[in-house]
Structure 1
Amino acid sequence: MTDIREIEENELMDLFDIEQISFKNSYRISTLADMYGKPSYKFLGIFNRNRLAGYIILLDSIDIYEVVKIAISPIYRGRGLGKKLLTSVLENLDKNLMLEVRVSNETAINLYEGLGFKKINIRKGYYGDTGEDGIVYLFETSFSCN
């Protein structure tokens, strides 16, 4: 049984554990705590039997939301939890959502495109650790003025 809710401050270490496993260039716990304390960031988690299985960090950038990070713990991958988490976010948007992804991350690309994200740009050499390009995706809500 899974549920999606805002992450509580005492769960940041669990988020940090998933962060370190999931990303080569992971944030420090102090960076996550600093972001958590700012009202422009929203931390949502998907929980499996009250255990954090994955998270998404959103930044409210005035006219658009940006996905700062999204990750599912390796032990929960392949179960559709990333799709469930992102779908929950998309169903509750009041403005457009933007994200970027490595060109090599086919699993994420398939997820985003399957949910209706549109490719809007390529950022050449965006990822400093590998020099890999980043694809910028946009999800337009029905509330969009465009």
Structure 2
Amino acid sequence: MHIDVTVEKMNESHLDDVAKIENACFAHPWSRKDLEAQLNIDTSHFIVASLNGRAVGYMGLQIFSGEGYVTNVAVLPEYRRRGIAETLIAAQMKNDMRFITLEVRKSNAAAIALYEKSGFENVGIRPKFYTDPTEDAVIMTKYFEEQL
């Protein structure tokens, strides 16, 4: 079941919620201070998905010279499988980029399926990229213009 969320650029009022999402979703979460630093970096494009005024998901993206690098896509566990991550990814795809790329744990079948549904392709493996537990990363990329 999809739920409607409001997607907006991350700002200072979202930081506590986004820090909670980080802590709920990742073995090595970004600190609130690290998230706050993203607000003042020109290449950072962080957006949140809010429900009733509370951020329930977010996506971080860095764009350098038309190249998009996803830092994180995270949704609170109780709001997963409702289209929120898909909505965030679609919103970020509107940025001007030649490609967008990310790493995902090899065992994260749900995320890999989501990225494939969003047009990403498996382009390689980063051995032992993740820790806690140690695991390979699948590199997934979506190209927006034909590659030479």
Normalising to structure 2: TM-score of the pair? 0.90
Whole-angstrom distance in 1 between the partners of 2:143 and 2:72:
19
CA contact (8 A) 1:64 1:95 kept: yes
Contact 1:3 1:46 in 2 (8 A): yes
CA distance in 2, matches of 1:28, 1:51: 19
Shift of 1:74: 1.5
Match for residue 114 of structure 1? 117
Offset at residue 145 of structure 1 (A) = 5.4
Root-mean-square deviation (Å): 1.5
> Is the 1:122–1:135 contact (alpha carbons within 8 Å) kept by the matching residues of 2?
yes
1:70 aligns with 2:73: yes
State yes or no: 1:28 paired with 2:31. Answer: yes
3-state SS, counterpart of residue 104 of structure 1: coil
Q: Which residue number corresponds to residue 80 of structure 1?
A: 83
The Cα shift of 1:62 comes to 2.0
Q: Which amino acid aligns with 1:32?
A: L
From 42, 54, 57, give the equivalent of 1:54: 57
Residue 45 of structure 1 corresponds to 48
> What is residue 4 of structure 1 aligned with on the other side?
7
Within 2, Cα distance between the matches of 1:84 and 1:122? Answer: 26
Secondary structure of the residue aligned to 1:85 is helix
TM-score (normalizing by structure 1): 0.91
Shift of 1:94: 3.3
SS at match of 2:93: helix
